Chains A and B, each alone.
Chain A
């Protein structure tokens, strides 16, 4: 099981360590640094590293490495999931998961880590339970605490810990009872040179924000549940009900949580909302090249495509770029060779384009690889898969909640090859 945890920042400082069994020396991280050096790029550090006596399983999040030390055979996914959960908890408690936030709250962090893991076994990882045990820092609370002398550690057993619904605490009370659902879909796609789709799929999630008093029992039904054939559920969902009726029936956790995530597989046709016309060429034996891209809307179901950003990793030999956008603004970082073009909204009348010259290192051979375009966009009020919530019913409580559903489609890993 998980033996120890080291938090390491990008410059290689170990700024926090926690041991759940005996103390493991920091020197074990040298193997990690070695791997990091080899990988060159922080994102390419392999997640599982073996050392003579331990295994190091790490994740990279928010510019921090969470490195756990393992001594016995253990499912690595278990460790990785747990580390992500730790990062999520920090995010949840401190608003951000950064070195500064962790250092600012080091004692709470320590208390949290102790509460989350016992002897390497996860103890309490649900945010609801943790918050009952250790209160998140707020300005108000620290003022109150310092006056009244009370602490930010709960001294009663969290109610949810042992019930059959560990995700919900008892005695929740709200004056305004609200339940909101965000249906968020991301399109992952690879579009080839000629504009045809090599691969496309939709990764969807339904995030919920539930502020309901008591023990509400909700059921959420869809107009077209058949779209959801590959789903991962929050533990609160009754699987049997879904199997038989295709209805999501659950007692929700309190607050924000991810209800389901789903994948609309590549077997179904995925609508691609934008197209890109591109012409990027480098001349042989000359130190310049041409760059010309135009973006247009396509299959966007009558909605506006907005928040468009194009990111291009240019080849190493590119020194600088001299471009003119018809819309938005662009930047080129000559160090990382990343071109970012922030476009905004597309209006079909006038398609945005970015044209100009590329300066190459003189004398260097013409780059072999063509850069891929990475595109970000957003479409409000639309789930591109066509998923629609039919209704939400509440049982078990008397009051009438306020309900709302929001749809949004975004680009996930959306790549256009040139």
Chain B
């Protein structure tokens, strides 16, 4: 294109070569891709190197900027354009050409559109670094916004929005307002996006100027492209302002969107579909009609459109009744487009597979016949292979297991190590999932072990351990083969698995002691996992063959307890030691107890999380299988989404409350910090690899749990740190049931439960106020365990009333609870008694008696309580605030004289005054209500028509709080003055007052 120009350019190359230091740094440390290489292959459409843009890259030597400057100021239009092109070319490779700013901006006033566009490109990149200069451009922009050519109007408003300079944005408002109402839809759609840009730069300005409302109006625009862009802009703005109700969808606007959906571009369709997915149809009929109109999008060539459509359908399907014909039609329609996504480019396949993984978990029926499309091709990228494998296992069933196994066996001989490992694991998972195939899987695994390929053998052993767990006493014949490979195992997981097998089946392995002993030699070099496993295995062996293995067990116990500095190992060692020395029979019962079954499906996503992720199909969240709140930067903005409930149209009309609020508790108390680790260790005692820890059956569970916790506490590292182990033991250890003080023992705990029931029937008068239960630990944060609870005080005893709900797929057992140190020394007075394992979807109500003899540490806020709850799955932490009135003791009534003296004695600066508003009670009622919660009225006076109540209360730790409550008949606002030697409690006492009086 620049044929003749080449001659006009000054012959700059020769003297440039003499320059020494390059003025501009090359972009990335590598040599700049700059020097025009004559041998550069030129494309078919561009014969002759002098025709191409590579010449713009000539050199980076010093003279360049000067030359460009001269050329930019040339009179010749063509020369100017060429110079700007050179500048742009330098910019594209990240070179700094900002020094040319004024010269380039001078070229802006032109009627040559290409030159104008090039200058705009430059401006967008550099305006920020030269804000004062950028102002020079404003006039041209404003003028261009009035140009008769819509292309130029749009270009001007588009470019202006990209210049992130405050001074420019001020000038942008007027042109933007005009463009939003432009007669040409092309300008309107460009202006819509510009609002989003401006919002990003200055949100307040956009709100003040009322652009958001104009943008909302554009949703009803006659042109579908404008609608799509308005939706896109609003969605982007809404993302940073989750509270604002920007996309307030109603059936009318939905109808508009659905109409625009058919006519706008593919990208617009994505924005509209994503927006539709946030809508909550009012009943199943509306859901169905939206589904019907969205279904044609499944046949779109753009995979992003398809996946967004799938999201809408998956979400709204939730509302349709399963008996509906349409429901099954829809299910059938979903399969082909999903499969088609797998024939696209590998990058698309990857994203599609991550999403299919979710869809298969939610609705396995959709793809159950499509197993074959997930078969791995040897030249698939590894990231596709691994995902396909995962889905294959999810789809494996009795009907197709033979095919799946044949495939997996094939994969196990491939080259890629990661893939082979996963394939071997997959075989094990199939065995566990499809019982009928177990035998075949085991024999396949044995074949693979025979190959002696090191990593294959190791993986096989790890999965065979799980198969043993699932089908006890069925495949033990293979143990001999496994033992042959003992020496080749070098990975901790495989070693640990093998040791577990030896320990578990010690009675069938003649030389079990020798095998285990061989591991013992390098005990300290093993990883923790192996050490723990070895310890347990040898104890098992000892319990099975006590006569020959006494020495061995003593050796391992001393290795674990005396020579190791790993607290986990030491603690487990001590527990075994104590168990074995005090009561071998009990030890046997604990260590060799029957193990709970392992679940069939592994790696399943928790149902609550899965439901949330289904709402995020097609997004990054679906690729990472985490809710956006878990990873999106500044997650301030993220609103939790939830699937709509299934409702029939008839009932939904009168039950608006069935509409999900979709908002779990907005603010979770902070997670326990440093202390948490300590608690974690305590509770973690038997949480090694889940299948291998000291097994506990239901009957000895309680006793075992108590012992484990108690025993562990004795040898706390904390004891060492604080320097007074005795104190630590006394304060901290939950004493075993036998040594518990009588008034706190388990029987009373039971009695309390009864009393509480009674109280529940009579009402709150008989005891202090009990707040309704609140969710303390949402299921999402605790692998399916949901805990809600409240605190109560009944006849001198404090208790924590808990509701444990299992929202996971597996049975939960082995519950235990522990409090962190807190301001008032609250501690559980008895272990957490969950008598039977908690099966999925089951809820159990527990009243946990508390005492206040735990160790004390001042918390902030004062009434903060950090709790750790353990079950067979993991340890979870949460913190909660307890109302102070549970600490008001029954003998909190002060003598009159004493009260007067104390009131005077406490300095005035300790007095705090509060207002209690909107309390319509009279003095009598107030007094009796407060008395129920152990706030005692000592005296009452009437001063100038106001009732003055003098009250006292005492906290469990002996702190007295004195109160003066002023009640004015007819005025619902009370004044409360509190005096206390520890003024920091006042605020919380006031809150207690409020709570009691208002409920």
CB distance from A230 to the nearest CB of B (A): 4
Size bracket, chain B contacts: 35 or more
Tell whether, in the assembled complex, residue B274 and residue A75 are in contact, meaning their CB atoms are under 8 Å apart: yes
Q: Mark A119-144, 1 if CB is under 8 A from B, else 0.
A: 10110011000000000111101110
- In the complex the two chains form, what is the Cα distance from A316 to B352 in whole Å? 32
Interface of B is mostly: helix
Tell whether, in the assembled complex, residue B336 and residue A230 are in contact, meaning their CB atoms are under 8 Å apart: yes
Q: Provided the pairs A103-B54, A104-B52 are in contact, do residues A75 and B618 lie with their beta carbons within 8 angstroms?
A: yes
- Residues 210-252 of A contacting B (Cβ, < 8 Å): 229-235, 239, 243
Q: Which of A346-354, A355-363, A364-372 contacts B (4 or more CB under 8 A)?
A: A364-372
Tell me if A302 is interfacial: C-beta within 8 Å of chain B: no
Q: Provided the pairs A13-B30, A16-B93, A77-B307 are in contact, do residues A188 and B51 lie with their beta carbons within 8 angstroms?
A: no
Q: Provided the pairs A26-B94, A153-B113, A157-B151 are in contact, do residues A190 and B377 lie with their beta carbons within 8 angstroms?
A: yes
Tell me if B343 is interfacial: C-beta within 8 Å of chain A: yes
CB distance from B322 to the nearest CB of A (A): 24
Q: Provided the pairs A17-B93, A26-B94, A105-B53 are in contact, do residues A77 and B351 lie with their beta carbons within 8 angstroms?
A: yes
- Residues 92-133 of B contacting A (Cβ, < 8 Å): 92-94, 112-115, 117-118, 121, 125, 128
Q: Provided the pairs A106-B53, A125-B267 are in contact, do residues A23 and B125 lie with their beta carbons within 8 angstroms?
A: yes
Partner of B53, one of A57, A108, A151: A108
Tell me if A110 is interfacial: C-beta within 8 Å of chain B: yes
Which residues from B are CB-within-8-Å of A231? 299
Tell whether, in the assembled complex, residue B621 and residue A73 are in contact, meaning their CB atoms are under 8 Å apart: yes
Which residues from B are CB-within-8-Å of A60? 347
Which residues from B are CB-within-8-Å of A313? 378
- In the complex the two chains form, what is the Cα distance from A182 to B406 in whole Å? 38
Q: Provided the pairs A106-B89, A157-B150, A198-B407 are in contact, do residues A415 and B377 lie with their beta carbons within 8 angstroms?
A: yes
Q: Provided the pairs A13-B28, A232-B300, A266-B372 are in contact, do residues A145 and B1 lie with their beta carbons within 8 angstroms?
A: yes
- In the complex the two chains form, what is the Cα distance from A232 to B304 in whole Å? 12
- Residues 63-98 of A contacting B (Cβ, < 8 Å): 70-78, 80-82, 84, 94-96, 98
Q: Provided the pairs A53-B633, A151-B115 are in contact, do residues A239 and B296 lie with their beta carbons within 8 angstroms?
A: yes
- In the complex the two chains form, what is the Cα distance from A139 to B403 in whole Å? 58
Tell me if B156 is interfacial: C-beta within 8 Å of chain A: no
Tell whether, in the assembled complex, residue A372 and residue B378 are in contact, meaning their CB atoms are under 8 Å apart: yes
Tell whether, in the assembled complex, residue A80 and residue B345 are in contact, meaning their CB atoms are under 8 Å apart: yes
- In the complex the two chains form, what is the Cα distance from A108 to B337 in whole Å? 36
- In the complex the two chains form, what is the Cα distance from A267 to B339 in whole Å? 12
Partner of B343, one of A14, A190, A192, A263: A263
Which residues from A are CB-within-8-Å of B40? 100, 103-104
Tell me if A390 is interfacial: C-beta within 8 Å of chain B: no
- In the complex the two chains form, what is the Cα distance from A73 to B343 in whole Å? 25
* A315 to B, closest residue via Cβ: B415
Among B236, B351, B632, which residue has the most Cβ atoms of chain A within 10 A? B351
- In the complex the two chains form, what is the Cα distance from A125 to B265 in whole Å? 9
Partner of B375, one of A20, A22, A53, A198: A198
* B86 to A, closest residue via Cβ: A107
Q: Provided the pairs A80-B347, A143-B3, A199-B372 are in contact, do residues A235 and B413 lie with their beta carbons within 8 angstroms?
A: no
Which residues from B are CB-within-8-Å of A78? 267, 270, 304, 618
Q: Provided the pairs A14-B94, A77-B348, A230-B337 are in contact, do residues A48 and B372 lie with their beta carbons within 8 angstroms?
A: no
Which residues from B are CB-within-8-Å of A70? 620
Q: Provided the pairs A1-B236, A71-B633, A369-B413 are in contact, do residues A106 and B186 lie with their beta carbons within 8 angstroms?
A: no
* A371 to B, closest residue via Cβ: B378
12 contacts between A and B (CB under 8 A): A17-B94, A21-B200, A48-B620, A77-B348, A77-B352, A80-B345, A101-B46, A111-B118, A111-B121, A142-B51, A143-B3, A162-B186
* 7 closest cross-chain pairs (CB), A and B: A142-B1, A104-B52, A230-B336, A151-B114, A153-B114, A47-B347, A77-B304
Which B residues form the contact surface with A (CB < 8 A)? 1-5, 27-28, 30, 33, 40-48, 51-54, 56-57, 77-78, 81, 85, 88-89, 92-94, 112-115, 117-118, 121, 125, 128, 149-151, 158, 161-162, 164, 184-186, 190, 193-194, 196-197, 200, 223-225, 229, 232-233, 236, 239, 263, 265-267, 270, 274, 296, 299-304, 306-308, 336-337, 339-340, 343, 345-348, 350-352, 369-370, 372-373, 375, 377-379, 381-383, 403, 406-407, 410, 413-415, 451, 453, 618-621, 623-624, 628, 631-633
